[in-house]
A = this chain, B = another copy of it.
Amino acid sequence: MSRITNPTAKRLSEYLLILERLSAQGTRTLSSRELADLYGNTASQVRQDIFSLPRGGESDPYGYDVDKLGLSIRHALGMDALRSVAVVGCGRLGTTLALHVPLEDYGMKLAAAFDVHPDIVGTRLKDVHVEHSVHIPRVCRQEQIELAALSTPAEEAQKIADALVHGGVKGILNFTRVQLRLPDSVVAENRQIVCGFIQLAHKVSDLNNDASADALSDRDMPS
């Protein structure tokens, strides 16, 4: 069914943030070119991405309706559902995830939280009480948890992941620095923050190289 590839899904989720901002500012309509300029890609790619949505965008020579396009994206990306999410590892990062990520706005809700530390177990995070990680399989089944964010120390990560799988969790957003071994029926999305910094640093050096290469070729081949 959903023939939305991963690169396209990534961009669609980011378009959605842009569309919401525009909508809040009162913009009713925009063209593929305008969205491309805001996002930093090409109008052609924007149209191709929208073309992959089951419902397309809107009308012909007036561009897209901001709100309708947003709804199309939500629908296509499965945000009509209400998926239950657990946060495992309620240290600084886990707490941040639980408190500051607006899951409710995107078809998800925080439905459980786990930790092993006695000072943290029993405290409250938003609408849930932090339970001990030994209860992961039971509570996940009870609450029908579908997705989990993993923000434990590296040492526990694989064991916790195994427990989540036992609990019937289908997707893990992995912030730990270990590569999880999971059955084929469960997907992980890696979000090691340090890798973000590394990739950024590489992009910056790349930019410098390009720039000096350009300068060089400008020198070598005078127009």
Task: List A residues at the B interface (Cβ < 8 Å).
Answer: 1-2, 4, 6, 9-10, 13-14, 16-18, 21, 38-40, 77-79, 81, 83, 85, 91-93, 95-97, 99-103, 105-108, 146-147, 149, 154, 170-173, 177-179, 185, 187, 189-209, 211, 213
B198 touches A13 (CB 8 A): yes
The residues of B that contact A205 with a CB separation of less than 8 Å are 2, 78
A199 touches B209 (CB 8 A): no
The interface residues of chain A, by DSSP majority, are classed as helix
The residues of B that contact A100 with a CB separation of less than 8 Å are 91-93
Distance from A88 Cβ to chain B, minimum over Cβ atoms (Å): 14
A108 touches B197 (CB 8 A): yes
The residues of B that contact A179 with a CB separation of less than 8 Å are 14, 17-18, 38-40
Distance from A149 Cβ to chain B, minimum over Cβ atoms (Å): 8
A170 to B, closest residue via Cβ: B204
Query: How far is B96's CA from A96's CA once the two chains are assembled, in angstroms?
Result: 8
Starting from the known contacts A147-B197, A170-B207, 8 additional A-B residue pairs (CB-CB under 8 Å) come to A17-B195, A91-B100, A92-B99, A106-B201, A170-B204, A185-B207, A187-B203, A189-B200
A198 touches B6 (CB 8 A): no
Query: How far is B9's CA from A154's CA once the two chains are assembled, in angstroms?
Result: 22
Query: How far is B193's CA from A102's CA once the two chains are assembled, in angstroms?
Result: 10
The residues of B that contact A91 with a CB separation of less than 8 Å are 100
B209 touches A6 (CB 8 A): no
Query: How far is B68's CA from A146's CA once the two chains are assembled, in angstroms?
Result: 40
B194 touches A103 (CB 8 A): yes
Distance from A123 Cβ to chain B, minimum over Cβ atoms (Å): 15
Distance from A104 Cβ to chain B, minimum over Cβ atoms (Å): 11
Query: How far is B43's CA from A186's CA once the two chains are assembled, in angstroms?
Result: 22
